[in-house]
Amino acid sequence: MSEPAVRAEGLRVELLSGTPIVEDLDLSIARGQTLGLVGESGSGKTTVALALLGYRRAGVKIAGGRVTIAGETMVPRVEREVRRLRGRLVSYVPQEPGMALNPSMRVGEQLRAMLRFHAPSRQAGPALREALEWVELPSDEQFLRRFPHQLSGGQQQRVAIAIALICRPVVAVLDEPTTGLDVLVQAGLLAGVRRLREESRLTMVYVSHDLAVVASIADRIAVMYAGRVVEEGPTAELIRAPRHPYTRGLIEAVPDPAKPRRLQGIPGVAMGVGGRLPGCPFAPRCSQRVPHCDRELPALEPSGAERLVRCFEWKRTPPLVRLPPQLARLERDASRVLLEAEDLAASHRGRRERVTAAAGVSFAIERGESVALVGESGSGKTTIARCIAGLHRPDAGRILLDGASLAPLAAQRSVESRRRIQIVFQNPYDSLNPRHTIGDAIARPARLLRGLSRAAAPGEVASALERVRLPAGIASRYPPELSGGERQRVAIARALAAEPDLLICDEVTSALDVSVQAAVLELIADLRTTLGLSVLFISHDLGVVACVCDRVIVLRDGVVREQGPAGRVLAHPSDPYTIQLVSAAPAIARGDEDTDGYAMPATPASP
Amino acid sequence: MRSWTGRIGAAIVIVLVLVAAIGPLVAPYSPTAIVGIPYQAPSGRFLLGTDSLGRDVLSRVLYGGRTVIGLASVATLMAYLVGVTIGLIAGYRRGLTDATLMRAMDVVIAFPPILLLLVLATGAGANALVLVIGVAITHVPGIARVVRAATLDVSVRGYVEAAAARGERSGFILGREILPNISSTILADVGIRLSGSILLVASVNYLGLGLRPPTADWALMISENREALTTQPPAVVVPALLIAALTIAVNLVADAVARSFGTSVEERGVAR
Amino acid sequence: FGGDDDSSSGAATGPTGKPQRGGRLRIAMVGGGGTETLDPNAAVPNIDSCRATCLFNRLTRLKPDLSLENELAEVFEPNKTATEWTVRLRSGVEWHDGSPLVADDLLYTLKRMGAPDSTLAGKNVTNMIDLGGVKKLDGRTLRLPLKSGSASFPELFQSPQMMIVKDGETDFNKNPIGTGPFKYVSFTAGQNSLFKRNPDYWEEGLPYVDELVITSTPDPQARLNALLSKQVDAMEQLSFQQTKTQKNAGRIRVLQATGSSMVPIYMATTLEPFTDVRVRQAIRLIADRDALISNVQLGLGAVGNDVYGRGFENYNDDLPQRKQDIDQAKSLLKAAGKSDLRVTLFSSSAGPGMLESATVFAEQAKKAGVTIQVDNGPADSYFGPKYLKQNFAQTQWPTFTIFSWYQQAMTPQAPFNETHWADPQWNKLLREAEATLDETKRKELYFELQKIEHESGGYLIWGFYPLCDGLATNVGGAVPSAANGFSNFNLASWWLA
Amino acid sequence: MGVRTARPPLRLTLAARHPALSFLARRIGAALLLLLVVSILIFAGTQLLPGDVANAVLGRNATPEALTSLRHQLQLDQPASERYVDWLTGVLHGDLGESVSAHTAIWPFIRPRLANTAILALCTVLLMVPLALALGVLAATRAGRPLDHFVSVVSLAMISIPEFVTGTMLALVFATTLGALPALSLIGPGETALDNPEILILPIATLLAASLAQTTRMVRAGMIESLRSEYVAMARLNGFDERRVVTRYALRNALAPTVQVIALNIQWLVGGIVVTETVFGYPGIGHTLVDAVSTRDIPLVQSIALIIAAFYFAVNIVADLLVVFLIPKLRTAQ
Ligand SMILES: Nc1ncnc2c1ncn2[C@@H]1O[C@H](COP(=O)(O)OP(=O)(O)OP(=O)(O)O)[C@@H](O)[C@H]1O
Ligand SMILES: Nc1ncnc2c1ncn2[C@@H]1O[C@H](COP(=O)(O)OP(=O)(O)OP(=O)(O)O)[C@@H](O)[C@H]1O
Ligand SMILES: [Mg+2]
Ligand SMILES: [Mg+2]
């Protein structure tokens, strides 16, 4: 074990313009070990992962440093030579297998092509079987003859992993292999990867933005921020006692379904490419910053056995603390019902057949109550929300607001009822019109639905922005100039400008980084209490739900499986499907308690 | 526009538009006046010689850009007005409206373009308006399809849904919410379409289905004087070169524009 | 006269020496698209007429000098008052199927043209005949009684649409039977035809070539290219510019003939503002005819004097040549109260130099304070619904005899009375002339007629355009002739060296 | 082109049962309906034209008397709707009717001309497709380098020059000056264009100039997009050599959009071939259509337009079928 499986020294990757993306990155992974690489979006994880294979994306160059894999130099080396090593010495599993598998090649063919090219002497049949077994996929001809689009997302990812493993590489780099998959599917895939780690001598680099996921897989974790590793250490220790304030902030921000508590976001926004200042890039968001931090970049230094940290003041990093749990809600009271859905049925007309998205769904939302709608992808959450907002015509059933039936489509509803129900959408990048200023976007509902005069608009905009804790100056800017979190706040401000009674939040945080997510969730929780809003909160993330909701409705295939108080449903689920969901939700074994991670159900992804 | 080819193209376009715009002010003779005997070689008096009727080639060249540039631009503009409207409505309304409009576009595409222009030119008389309408019609289906596809895409975005949820009128949603966001898709091929229009206007004029003599028009000049290609080359070659230069330049600009939209899309893709 | 083969320097000439036999002669003509027909009596474009002369014969024809001679007629004689004509057909003429030409064929032809529902051009001629009273004198002779005397009657039979067809023949596009120098082999309208030599042709020794291909090629540049690249041996209708260039280049021979073919401007004498003869005179005085000839026809044409018939015996060349006189025109207009006359001139590119001359004329008119707006209509419907209803327009006429033209354009019965001409004195004079068999006398009367036209007619005949065709240098036997617009192509006498 | 793929024909579930057949049946059904609409529009359009076939046939012999008589013979005095229905009934019985100007049955009249155009278009396409693919791939794989710039600039220039200029120049150089090739596409009696193939060279070159350039650019664009895709990146990350990446991964997936471009070009060829036909006097269908319009031979115009429109739809359907074939997602069940 003299030569580590992966060694990177002083790796530097830049844009062609010379702006650095990744700087002085050193990594060393012993054979058979798994390194988890975590960090928020844009921190340079994928860039590093690709550089380990000597690969760079268009518009980017590897400007310096060395990478060796099992003694073979990958960087610097000419493309022709390094390419022959990819796939056989080190292989890569991409984030979105749906995009990365050749759409016009059958699964079997894609696997065989690897063999034919890298190991022509090996027998294709057994090799295929071996690789597919590792990822728990069938290896019969019928399966091999499928095209990628004929596989589910989880299967696609397993195929991608099988392709990466078929030539028995020394190192596999997995770049967010579970991001975008459903919790149940993700759990199954993670279990598979874990088994692989235990049963083979494969060295892995596991890249993810999700600390909980990485914690369940990796032997060691490296945390990246703004293109640099800020902390590295053995998984358990790093999670229990983070030394870098950023690592600590990340852990604090991860919601936990089993033990709900208030979340705490990291203030500010993550640093992007460019505009990096001479000092510590985390300094602007740091709570233990000293003047020195702004001037000089700390080095990545050992801080005890096997631990490295890049902070001058790491000794001052406070230990993790248990935050107060979410306040329990008042008892139910039928007279306080705001909105009611009665036997709601909805479907989508597909190309030929109808897809049922809701079948006989009934529930009620009380004034000031926060109700969560959870369920895996495609269970009909969004459709129900759109029915309530008048964007989708239900097939049957009624929606009652204060006991009065609402017209199916928004255009037919009264101005008043349109005002009282507001919706915020999932994707922060398309929830605001990029061609309208923030001010216009916020003022529009107020003017249309509340008849606000043109003159009164700026004042209204300012107060709306203040409510979502954004500076008033932002009103004249356009959405593309805003970060994802800021945009979601603006979207919320826009909804609030109508002074609604019910706010529907459809996965408002799922596209956001954890630190930002925490801040947005905090905001919603605050607004509820200060404005007495009712919230219909849609999410697939039980942790998030646990933090902000009073009641949970579990949905599957358009049918309500279980509903009840959040505490009870999440802690003591009764429906088998809910049980599965809850146990599949990743959670972190924090230093402040004594759980050992979470159980992994052995449910393979349904085809 | 960062590429040098794009800049060269833009420079040529500007020069030619200037020629067309101020040319008539500096032309030495009236474009229709017969000032000499036909097909005189270039001389001090007639810098580019004379044409088939003894008119001054230079003066006709200076006047002749207006029709090509003007008509092609107007036709393209009209095509966009109609095509964008159809595409927006089809893409936003979906369903039956969409199907009907798109089938109508299919019909227009299947109508042989020459027949369309022939019927228009012979039926309604050959004049600028007919030419513009004919050229515009040939573009409409293509534009409508592109706009429709883009609209389909944009109309499911959160901000459009939000507008629908607060009960905005369709006009507002189409004009204020959707249109600004598909403008780059629309603009990306304006240049290509404009140069297509120029070629079509020129070809139609050349075939005698468009403008008629004695209009001074580059394409007409080519067809009027083409038999003097060997004896009085400037009368044919100069307008031919100008048309080619114009379309090449417009294409260069279009290319650069499309590429700049393309890269910005890419960058957005990468940044996410 | 009539044909004036140009001899400018550099022009190529044909081969000299004895005619040679054999070979395939390939001709590119303008063509008429799908309307092309081999029915000689229904011929419209030149290509139809040319094919008709290859396959058929008529009673009389115009020689290159534009004088009349008999073709199938052996004798064509009037009675004393020219009210009855006797025609005897040549003997020994055979149809392509071997049967002899007889009087019944001629009778059939006349009846075919004169049938009540006939759309044939010859109806204009047969209308003059009392068809019911036609007498067959013998197997080859007919006596044709006319409704009124006409001394110029035989002239009318020189038209290519007056070809004699075989008794009973109705379908001409499939294997037409004629008496002409060539026999039918194949024909595709709008594309090409293939004929072969008629070995039994009645004109001694003719024709020379074995095969004849006539191709429709509307585009002038394409025709010239084909000739220059030796794909064809001759092409119809060189443009004026091509004529000039090719004469200098000397790679091909140019066959040029100027007769009475013209693209005049006309004024309808019954429509404003041309009801006033002074306006008509002013318009005629505005034209700078020399400039029109040199700019539009590149100097190739001949100046006109507002009367038709240049090249024919009865053409009045004693009349003073009218010249541009702007002052006079202005004062005439002033007198007529039309000092700033504005009028639309309907034009089209339906004839050689037609549109161009309108353009040039409009420019010239500016000098006299007259604003002429040229309305350029589509060529294909120019002689369509609006024709004959316009007050100020252009037209085209080929070279045929003066009387034929009067019949078409000037007499009260004329189907194409473009100028709405109805001058009682002129009509009376024409009747008198046509009743006069004495040639000198008749000529005097014709001169009178033309004098009236010259003074008060509705035509501005500023010039006559030349027929210019291109020939490869190995084509012999070609003689320029202006008659009927295509007679340069008297293909029976052509031979290949 | 991207637009086309968004069109309804490319349906996923359709492919689930009898993919090709039900697809074909629906597309053909729709096309027939559209053809009917097209034919009505064309008929209505031709009614607006001034003058009629009687005028054209009689030409300068069109005395008012003869006009009336001929109109009666040609049944032009019947109401337009009746004439349309007559024609349509004929078409439904497989009879295109009679040309009123040429007095012959239409089908035998246009068949040789159709064949001529088909030969010209087919030769052009057969040359264009492989050349465009080769050039497009070459340029795309060398994007941004001198060869790519060269191809780009040359093709841009070729696209920008009107065909009548290209054609005239080619004729001037190769036919009249060098005498190497015929300037005029003379097709002898009873022959087709294939009997003397040299007449095809210049017309093909003219058509090729514009269409090849256009297609090359599209292939290049499609290839560049494909080369930027994640699966191409993945193929490189899997270590395949560049040749394999280009052919098996990039080109294979760039073919579908290319098919659409080629289909568009074929449609353009047939619709726009008339300019080239005019320049070289090539006896094709475009020309015949122009003639038919100018002689107001409405049954002939109708028939040709119908054939061209049918061809348009056919090319579309074939292209869509090919696309379905090329994109497994569209042809296989989920
Ligand atoms: N080709 C490129 N051109 C411009 N910027 C780039 C390019 N590639 C990466 N970047 C920038 O480099 C930074 C790091 O990108 P990278 O994809 O490595 O981040 P990541 O940590 O994987 O983020 P994510 O979690 O979103 O995948 C980002 O800010 C990104 O915008
Ligand atoms: N526009 C549409 N056309 C056809 N089917 C649709 C459409 N939108 C949704 N569906 C289908 O309806 C079902 C319910 O979709 P819905 O978006 O409501 O689910 P969801 O629970 O919000 O899922 P996710 O978590 O992925 O957002 C799914 O099967 C989906 O495929
Ligand atoms: Mg990444
Ligand atoms: Mg959803």
| Mutation to probe ligand 1, out of B267, B268, B270, B272 (largest number of atoms < 8 A from CB) | B270
What ligand is nearest to the CA atom of residue A374?
2
Mean pLDDT of chain D: 80
| All chains having 3 or more CB pairs closer than 8 angstroms to chain D | A, B, C
Coil, strand, or helix at residue A36?
Answer: strand
Question: Quick check: CB of A357 below 6 Å from ligand 2?
Answer: yes
pLDDT recorded at residue D14? 43
Candidate from D2, D168, D271 with C-beta closest to B149: D2
A440 interfaces chain D, CB cutoff of 8 Å: no
Q: For residue B221, how many C-alpha atoms fall within 13 Å in the half-sphere facing its CB?
A: 35
D233 interfaces chain A, CB cutoff of 8 Å: yes
pLDDT recorded at residue C105? 92
Lowest mean pLDDT among A42-51, A347-356, B27-36, C75-84: A347-356
Q: Do chains C and A touch (3 or more CB pairs under 8 A)?
A: no
Measured between CA atoms, how close is D115 to chain B, in angstroms?
18
Measured between CA atoms, how close is A89 to chain D, in angstroms?
10
Q: What are phi and psi of C310, to 5 degrees?
A: -55, 130
Residue B254 contacts residue B65 (beta carbons within 8 Å): no
At B236, which helix (H) or strand (E)? helix B234-271
pLDDT recorded at residue C196? 93
Other C-beta atoms within 10 Å of A272: how many? 15
Measured between CA atoms, how close is A80 to chain D, in angstroms?
8
Which of A95, A105, A145, A166 to mutate against chain D (most D CBs within 10 Å)? A105
Residue A22 CA: which ligand 1 atom is closest?
A: 14
In whole angstroms, how far apart are CA C454 and each of B253, C313, C428?
A: 62, 18, 17
| Integer Rg of chain A from CA | 25
The yes-or-no verdict on residue D5 having pLDDT over 50 is no
Residue A59 CA: which ligand 1 atom is closest?
A: 1
Whole-model pTM?
0.79
pLDDT recorded at residue D12? 44
Q: Which residue has the tokens 């139809």?
A: C48
Q: Do D252 and A104 touch (CB under 8 A)?
A: yes
Q: Do C192 and D189 touch (CB under 8 A)?
A: yes
Lowest mean pLDDT among A439-443, B241-245, C391-395, D268-272: D268-272
Tens digit of each residue's pLDDT (9 = 90 or more) over D289-318: 888 887 888 888 888 888 888 888 888 888
In whole angstroms, how far apart are CA D146 and each of B2, C163, D139?
A: 18, 69, 9
Candidate from A415, A433, A441 with C-beta closest to B167: A415
CB-count burial class (<10 Å; 0-12, 13-18, 19+) for D294: buried
Measured between CA atoms, how close is D317 to chain A, in angstroms?
19
Residue A381 CA: which ligand 2 atom is closest?
A: 21
What ligand is nearest to the CA atom of residue A21?
1
pLDDT recorded at residue C476? 87
* Average pLDDT, integer, range C97-118: 90
Tens digit of each residue's pLDDT (9 = 90 or more) over B66-113: 888 888 889 999 999 999 999 999 989 888 888 889 888 888 887 777
Give the distance (Å) from ligand 2 centre to CA of residue A424: 17
Query: Which carries the bigger pLDDT value, residue D303 or residue B229?
Result: D303
pLDDT classification of A247: cutoffs 50, 70, 90: very high
Cβ density class B19-33: b for 16+ within 10 Å, e for less: bbeebbeebebbbbe
Other C-beta atoms within 10 Å of A320: how many? 17
Tell me the C-alpha distance between C176 and C171, whole Å: 7
Other C-beta atoms within 10 Å of B262: how many? 15
Tens digit of each residue's pLDDT (9 = 90 or more) over A506-515: 988 887 888 8
Query: Which carries the bigger pLDDT value, residue A586 or residue D189?
Result: A586
Question: Quick check: CB of A44 below 6 Å from ligand 1?
Answer: yes
CA D306: distance to chain centroid? Answer: 13
Tens digit of each residue's pLDDT (9 = 90 or more) over A362-378: 999 998 889 999 988 88
pLDDT recorded at residue C278? 92
Is-cis flag, bond preceding B214, omega within 30?
Answer: yes
CB-count burial class (<10 Å; 0-12, 13-18, 19+) for C307: buried
* C401 token code pair: 């005899």
D327 interfaces chain A, CB cutoff of 8 Å: yes
Q: Do B212 and C376 touch (CB under 8 A)?
A: yes
Which of D18, D234, D255 to mutate against chain A (most A CBs within 10 Å)? D234
Q: Give contacts of C363 with chain B, Cβ < 8 Å.
A: 32-34
Question: Quick check: CB of B165 below 6 Å from ligand 1?
Answer: no
Q: Do chains D and B touch (3 or more CB pairs under 8 A)?
A: yes
Q: Do B248 and D272 touch (CB under 8 A)?
A: no
pLDDT classification of C209: cutoffs 50, 70, 90: very high
Q: Do A100 and D253 touch (CB under 8 A)?
A: no
Give the distance (Å) from ligand 3 centre to CA of residue A223: 14
pLDDT recorded at residue A397? 92
Tell me the C-alpha distance between C34 and D98, whole Å: 12
Q: Which stretches of B27-127 are DSSP H helices?
A: 57-93, 95-110, 113-124
In whole angstroms, how far apart are CA C276 and each of B120, C267, C333, C367, D72?
A: 38, 11, 10, 21, 39
Range from A308-322, B206-220, D180-194 that averages highest in pLDDT: A308-322
Tens digit of each residue's pLDDT (9 = 90 or more) over B160-212: 988 988 888 889 999 889 988 888 778 777 777 887 888 888 777 777 777 77
Residue nearest to atom 2 of ligand 2 (CA): A348
Which of A430, A431, A478, A490 to mutate against chain B (most B CBs within 10 Å)? A430
pLDDT classification of D111: cutoffs 50, 70, 90: confident
Give the distance (Å) from ligand 3 centre to CA of residue A214: 14
Nearest to C374 by CA among B191, D61, B126, B111: B126
The CB-based long-range contact list for D25-30 (8 Å cut-off, 24+ gap) reads D27/D316, D27/D317, D27/D320, D28/D317, D30/B103
| Strands of A34-38's sheet in order across | A90-93, A171-175, A203-208, A34-38, A220-225, A228-234, A308-309, A301-302
pLDDT recorded at residue A602? 35
